[in-house]
Amino acid sequence: MTESILERTNVNLLFIGDIVGKGGRRAVREMVPELRREFNCQFCVANVENIANGGGMNAKTLGQLIPDFIDVATSGDHVWDQKELELEIERFDNVLRPANMSCKQPGRGFAIFRNPGGGDIAVLNLMGQVFMRPSARCPFEKAEEILGAMPRNVKCVLVDIHAEATSEKAAMARFLEGRVTAVLGTHTHVQTADAKILPGGTAFISDVGMVGAEASVLGRELDAVVDKFRSGMPRRLPVVEKGIRLDAVVISYDPETGKASKITPISRMSNV
């Protein structure tokens, strides 16, 4: 099955959309090993900023996924929702926070990793500015700065652009076209229908989606979210922990050039 979907000569990597809560963590542990086998992916990246009770992350929840199920974890505007992470993040070499946050914040937003499938992979985590928290600096300038210092031997560069506006994500993809392997949008929890390979060999999708409940609003209880919108009042929005759907993409690329040749969206229901 794998050989009929993706070229054998290329290297394939799996990128998983925003993982929400305990149900999302459970679905990743159930489904990712099989997905990695099916699509011959020896490297897996996931956005994990909502794995702890639907908001933030900590060492305990990260330890349930890293390194057995995912190789690198990215994040976004909810990265510091769990206060303990401020002290814990330095323990993880493979957990990233947005690179265009203040340099005074702990952790890092960019790193280079060895892919068992061949070559190195640079993973860059960025956060958008449009309709987002004002703490984010210009992601375009930060991307330019990091790419300018990239070692020449690193051919595969994966960018997680955690942003609200589709226009900002698409602009980032065009800005980096031909210079990175993939620009993958996260944050809105809805898998978009615009997955494509740009002419310069960069894979793009506005939003990968989420690992969260199918019968929910972005992973939260339906009635609570509807009531919040109708009343305009503050409401607790519990995470739905069952009926989980996993959204992801598989990127197929040439390890010699870093150019992507195929992006395959995935959306499957979990059995747990």
* Distance separating the N- and C-terminal Cα atoms of the chain: 24
Tokens of 57: 């992350």
Of all helices (H) and strands (E), which one includes residue 44?
A: strand 41-47
Q: Which residues contact 14 (CB under 8 A, 6 or more apart)?
A: 32, 35, 36, 39, 41, 43, 44, 45, 248, 249, 250
Integer Cα distance of 52 and 60 in angstroms: 9
Positions annotated as catalytic residues are 78
What whole-number distance in Å separates Cα of residue 183 and Cα of residue 42?
19
